[in-house]
Amino acid sequence: MSYRHDTLALIPAGIDTYRQPIVYMREDCHLCRSEGFATHTRIEVEHAGKRVIATLNVVTGGGWLPPETAALSDTAWQALAPEPGALGRFSHPEPPASASAIRTKVYGGRLDADACRAIITDTMDRRLSDLDLAAFVTACAGDRLDEAETIALTLAMRDAGERLDWGQGPVLDKHCVGGLPGNRTTPIVVAIVAAAGHLVPKTSSRAITSPAGTADTMEVMAPVALTLGEMRRVVEAEGGCVVWGGGLDLSPADDMLIRIERPLDFDSEGQMVASVLSKKASAGSSHVLIDIPVGPTAKVRSQDAARALVRRLSAVAATLGQTLAIHQSDGSAPVGRGIGPALEAHDVLAVLRRTANAPSDLRERALDVAGAMLDLVGSDGRERAARLLDSGQAEAKFMAICAAQGGFTEPGKALQTQPVTANRAGKITAIDNRRIAKIAKLAGAPGRQASGVLLKTGLGETVEIGQPLFEIHAETKGELDWALAYAAGGDSPFRVEDLS
């Protein structure tokens, strides 16, 4: 027994706490007792000059944690990177500098530029706990950030990560506030805008709770996990790209805040604007189109809400030197036929290739958005977008972008497919998107690229008994069965009503 009072051997816990560093200590550990460490206590762990501040969870049983040992969650382990069994030194951390800034805001004060920088820096360094971040998000909810605070927060978030400078302009970009299922316009829009000769360095996200994100769909056709340098070479060669933003360190604090905002599900107009525009500023974009689907179940539910959002977006964009345009669209229905990465990629390629069965709703939306972007730097955008698509120039540009990102791959088909048929005749009056998405995920999407759901009919169409409503696509028999078992239980995702 060593009498060193503040050390324990470190081992990996193998637990992903989603970027919150956690340290697991035994309840009979001398450090827990002597330091008064209890669950939720913040503890600084130091090893070989590296430090991380972690939240304690006390291990009461199970025997997986040996005596005189502390286990670290994935994030904490990666931060210290010790040899397993190396000694870590434990202490009470000083409260982070930004805690008093958050406290000021919570008590009704205002955030100045220094306060915003301190909060974002400590967020990045993980000196703020998830509870601290929840307090910050709460204190900024609704319209509690004024315009000056929103600008200060946007600048702090932009400056916390890498920044791209393209050395020429204009640089076009787009963002959709609150996505719609299957609304995979981005690859088409980027191809059209790049074919028009503009720079459009687009970063996209992967799915979190949906069957596919834009990055997942694009990845079926070309590599998307590029470095900043690789992304730069693609854009310099072809004008545009569609890459995964998660690995690029552009406004990275945004991701840290989103993981707290999502479960709380508070809207903060100020934080939403800071999130969107700091990413665009970091990407070096000068002209930004914001697509705002408005509808009863969309993120923006009324014209009044849309107008307030547009006002604030415009004020912050002006400070950043960005030219902004707004495109309002119908947020009431899903788009296209496929749900799942490869199935959505087939829809995208069908539009670009102008095949007879290309989903027209996806085509029209892509042309609307591309047209609005082209109007940011010219006129007659919609007509030019249609010409670039119909002439095959957009298709050619898309293939060139895929080649530059590492090579085009034709999307595959799932080995296992099974139609789900109508058990009554009539008209389809509703489709439950949540159930459809769940079936696609049970079938394996987005982890298995070819898995998902292919809609065979649509809202307002008429079906006969036995006619396929949709197909389940899966890569393994097991996953097909998981999805079928769920689809067979409970209500059908399609509501079919008598024509009489």
CB of 60 to its own copies, least distance (A): 5
SS (H, E, C) 382-443: HHHHHHHHHCCHHHHHHHHHHHHHCCCCCCCCCCEEEEEECCCCEEEEEECHHHHHHHHHHC
* 490 vs 42: CA distance, rounded Å: 46
> 339, 338, 360, 358: which is closest to 350 by C-alpha?
358
Q: Catalytic residue at 267? A: yes
CB of 182 to its own copies, least distance (A): 16
Site for its own copies in 318-377 (CB under 8 A): none
Among residues 33 and 353, whose Cβ is nearest to its own copies? 33
Among residues 214 and 457, whose Cβ is nearest to its own copies? 214
CB of 482 to its own copies, least distance (A): 5
Q: Which of 89, 233, 259, 354 binds its own copies (CB under 8 A)?
A: 259
Instruction: Name residue 25's beta-bridge partners.
Output: 58, 70
Among residues 61 and 460, whose Cβ is nearest to its own copies? 61
CB of 68 to its own copies, least distance (A): 12
CB of 107 to its own copies, least distance (A): 4
> 42, 25, 21, 22: which is closest to 33 by C-alpha?
25
Stretch that binds its own copies, among 36-44, 239-247, 326-334, 345-353 (CB under 8 A): 36-44
Told to check if 491 binds its own copies by CB under 8 A, we report no
Structure tokens at 316: 């912050």
Structure tokens at 59: 């291990």
Q: What angle do CA 258, 239, 255 make, to 5 degrees?
A: 10
Site for its own copies in 268-297 (CB under 8 A): none
Told to check if 447 binds its own copies by CB under 8 A, we report yes
Told to check if 33 binds its own copies by CB under 8 A, we report yes
For 415, phi and psi rounded to 5 degrees?
A: -70, -35
Told to check if 300 binds its own copies by CB under 8 A, we report no
Site for its own copies in 466-485 (CB under 8 A): 478-479, 481-482, 485
Site for its own copies in 51-90 (CB under 8 A): 57-64, 74
* 73 vs 70: CA distance, rounded Å: 10
Q: How many residues bind its own copies (CB under 8 A)?
A: 72
* 204 vs 313: CA distance, rounded Å: 20
* 242 vs 411: CA distance, rounded Å: 16
Strands 200-204 and 240-244, sheet pairing? parallel
Active-site choice (6, 125, 249, 267): 267
Q: Which of 42, 127, 202, 384 binds its own copies (CB under 8 A)?
A: 42
Residue 247 carries which DSSP code? G
Instruction: Name residue 44's beta-bridge partners.
Output: 53, 91
* 204 vs 173: CA distance, rounded Å: 11
Instruction: Name residue 56's beta-bridge partners.
Output: 23
Binding mask 132-161 for its own copies (x = CB under 8 A): x-xx-xxx-xx-x-----------------
CB of 38 to its own copies, least distance (A): 6
**Which amino acid does the sequence have at 352?**
L
Among residues 99 and 119, whose Cβ is nearest to its own copies? 99
* 420 vs 322: CA distance, rounded Å: 49
CB of 177 to its own copies, least distance (A): 19
- Cα Dmax for the chain: 86
Q: Which of 48, 81, 131, 430 binds its own copies (CB under 8 A)?
A: 131
Told to check if 35 binds its own copies by CB under 8 A, we report yes
Site for its own copies in 183-212 (CB under 8 A): 207-210
Told to check if 449 binds its own copies by CB under 8 A, we report no
* 74 vs 79: CA distance, rounded Å: 9
**Which amino acid does the sequence have at 62?**
G
Q: Which of 191, 199, 400, 442 binds its own copies (CB under 8 A)?
A: 442
Among residues 173 and 261, whose Cβ is nearest to its own copies? 261
Told to check if 12 binds its own copies by CB under 8 A, we report yes
Site for its own copies in 208-247 (CB under 8 A): 208-210
Among residues 42 and 327, whose Cβ is nearest to its own copies? 42
54 close to 95: Cβ distance less than 8 angstroms: no
Among residues 153 and 422, whose Cβ is nearest to its own copies? 153
* 6 vs 143: CA distance, rounded Å: 45
CB of 92 to its own copies, least distance (A): 9
Among residues 110 and 424, whose Cβ is nearest to its own copies? 110
Residues labelled catalytic: 267
